[in-house]
Amino acid sequence: MKKGLMLLFALCAATVFAAGTESAGLNITHRMMTLAIQVGVILFAARFGNLLFSWLRLPSVLGELCAGILIGPYALGTLWPGWVFQLFPGSSVGVSPELYGLCTVASIVLLFLVGAETDLRMFMRYSAVGSLVGVGGVVFSYLAGATIGVWLLGLEWSDPTTILLGVMSTATSVSITARILSDRRKLDSQEGVTILAGAVIDDVLGIIMLAIGMGLIAAKENGDAFSWGHIVGIAAKCMGIWLGATAVGILVSRKVAWLLRFCGSHGEVAILTLGLALLVGGLFEQASLAMIIGAYVTGLSFSRTDMGVMIQEKLHGVYQFLVPIFFVVMGMMVNIGEFAKEGVLVAGLIYTAVAVVAKIVGCGLPTLLFGFTPVGALRVGLGMVPRGEVALIIAGIAAAHGHTEILGVAVLMTMLTTLVSPPLLLAAFAIGRPGHRQKAARDGQPVAAYHFPNRAITSTVMGKILQNLTKEGFFTHQINPAQGLYQARRDDIVVNITCGEMEITFSASQEALPFVRIVMAESLAEFETVLDALRKPIAESAHFAIDASTPPPKPRAKPAGRLDVLARHVREEAIIPRLKATDRDGAIRELLGRLHDLGAVGDVAEAEAEVFRREAVMPTGVGFGVACPHARTNAVPMLTCAIGIAGRPIDFSPDEEGRACRIIILTLTPDTVNSPYMTFITAALTALRAPSKRQALTEAPDAAAIRAILLTP
């Protein structure tokens, strides 16, 4: 009720302030004032429509569209002469250029974030069936949509309206389907994964079809003759630019992301990535392609970086502000008077029905070749039925080129497909039959779980874990506050964390688990006041990384990543082949002395105190003859290490694992600078996993040989 009263007040205020619009003419100040009032009214109307349709258990996007239709110039604008939204003179879309420009920026933000959410790894995993699903959906939908223009409207195949009807029919919005699958816990089912993977191909091909269609329309507007050769040329150009830009974007995105790290906080970096999307979108428009294609390519490129989730999180506020404006303005551009015309309404209903059947047939049939049952094929087809933002964006572009009759059909199709798809999909999943002839193979990632005595300690440790991961260069995000789900990403490393009442669980690849356990050990070791309660998980974490019972990780596509870390920080002059010291304290002081002589350590006393304080919290003898004393101290400006080989074993802890250590790796890192501290320790311990390598180190004649052994794959 309060929100309704606030909306009513805003509408009345808008009417008062909008008075005198005609007399103001082209006064720039008055136009900006009108824009501000319009945006305020749009935001209230969007929120009210969103809440109303959510209460009715209908998709909220429909509420925003209906709100736009209601307050637009073709509804209230016609009934209320003093209303703030009036038909703008000389505008092909019915709204002012300022408002349409804001809507265009909103569409770029929307497609940029859609690209950033794309999971290319999942697409590659299910590329075969997903490709056929996407291709089938695009081909059948385009032919069906274009046929409507030729058959019902009597147009030619080369007519811009026919082309846009076909392209608009190819669009798919799986956001609603994903919500349904998530609620029913079917996202990881064969049908769910196939729908999401097929949606990637569908989006890509749909955007390429849009580029080809816009190229053909531009050619016809310029008076160029229509020919199939011209179509092939435009298709080759669009494919070349799109694939080339995508390939270049994916290749350079990590370097760009690395450079952007130095530009400020996460929020500032996210805004800069949006700036790149706007720039790339403008360049694509300059190349006769749609701006949304450039925005999608930019988002797709950043989806492979560790910034992908961070960008979505930090731009969520921008999304909440602009995207409702986009949908409301799309609704405002619909001339509801066109629905009164029998031909348009009938054509819209037939077009919608054909679009639904085309997706079910085009996306469902190919799955039968990959072991899906008819029920599973029906589920996949229904999951691809909803049209949404992409269809409306295409319709908006068409309206901007003067094809306003398409916009009403697009809104009608979007509303009907969005309304009919959820209940039909739920009914399909309610059928008690399997969707695939084979049971789904579950190959989840390895899991490491740690238990704690109470909720307070669990929450405190979780905060320290996130802090340490951030210092290691990870982007950390809270995915689901209610379930305590977090994700940390850096380059190809993805760590999923679940924080329960008295348990923290890590899910990561086999190669990342040693690093995860060291992070856990370091986080626990910093809580001296609760050391007794945490001693058991500390011991488990500290000794796991070099456990001989754990098989060595399988070689990855780029096995040199760990060696690069070691090569960057291990200096030959910081290696002592034969330590003179015979005890722990003496060995640490000897290694610190070598670093001081090299100018790598400023205040040796401060560094020594921090190392010994760290040893008092938890001894660093990790077993198998290896010790890794380390500390965070501002006595060093960057990560620094020294390696020593003891002539006879040295005790680094009272237990069996910490006795008889001959290989000693001392690591120091500044406390105030983010650095790959635990990453380096993990790399060093992983390099020493093989007994033959440890034996070779103890027998190496000089520092050069020791460094060469460490850097040997």
Higher pLDDT, 20 or 62: 62
> 517, 544, 571 — which closes off a domain?
544
Q: What distances in angstroms separate CA 601 from CA 139, 565, 570, 611, one per listed residue? A: 66, 20, 15, 13
pLDDT digits (tens, 9 = 90+) for 534-589: 455 555 555 545 554 445 555 544 444 667 778 888 888 889 988 888 888 888 99
Domain that holds residue 120: 105-430
Q: Alpha-carbon distance 517 to 510, whole Å? A: 12
Stated as kind and residue range, the H or E segment containing 488 is strand 485-490
Point out the least confidently predicted range of 160-164, 217-221, 455-459: 217-221
The pLDDT confidence band at residue 107, using thresholds 50, 70 and 90, is confident
Over range 91-102, report the average pLDDT. 78
pLDDT for the residue 450: 84
261 plus 121 within the same structural domain? yes
> 403, 430, 457 — which closes off a domain?
430
Q: Alpha-carbon distance 591 to 667, whole Å? A: 10
442 domain-assigned? no
Point out the least confidently predicted range of 34-48, 163-177, 223-237, 648-662: 223-237
358 plus 293 within the same structural domain? yes
pLDDT above 90: residue 44: yes
pLDDT for the residue 14: 45
pLDDT for the residue 8: 46
414 plus 461 within the same structural domain? no
pLDDT for the residue 5: 44
CATH number of the domain residue 292 falls in: 1.20.1530.20
Q: 494 phi and psi, to 5 degrees? A: -125, 125
96 domain-assigned? no
523 plus 647 within the same structural domain? no
Amino acid at 513: L
pLDDT for the residue 43: 92
User: What are the tokens at 192?
Assistant: 């769910």
353 plus 501 within the same structural domain? no
pLDDT for the residue 83: 83
Q: 499: which strand partners? A: 504
CATH number of the domain residue 493 falls in: 3.30.310.10
pLDDT for the residue 226: 58
pLDDT digits (tens, 9 = 90+) for 416-444: 776 777 778 878 888 878 777 766 544 45
The pLDDT confidence band at residue 642, using thresholds 50, 70 and 90, is very high
212 plus 79 within the same structural domain? no
pLDDT digits (tens, 9 = 90+) for 384-408: 887 765 676 677 666 666 666 676 6
Q: Alpha-carbon distance 626 to 226, whole Å? A: 75
Domain count, the chain: 4
Over range 43-71, report the average pLDDT. 84
Please, are residues 587 and 650 in contact by the beta-carbon 8 Å criterion? Answer: yes
- Give the percent of the chain with pLDDT over 70: 74
Closest alpha carbon to 367 in 350, 348, 382, 388: 382
pLDDT for the residue 279: 92
pLDDT for the residue 205: 73
44 domain-assigned? yes
- Average pLDDT value for the chain: 76
95 domain-assigned? no
552 domain-assigned? no
453 plus 372 within the same structural domain? no
365 plus 288 within the same structural domain? yes
Higher pLDDT, 94 or 278: 278
What's the gap between Cα 42 and its chain centre? 28
61 plus 133 within the same structural domain? no
Over range 107-121, report the average pLDDT. 75
Whole-model pTM: value is 0.60
91 domain-assigned? no
685 domain-assigned? yes
245 domain-assigned? yes
Q: Alpha-carbon distance 34 to 86, whole Å? A: 11
pLDDT above 90: residue 68: no
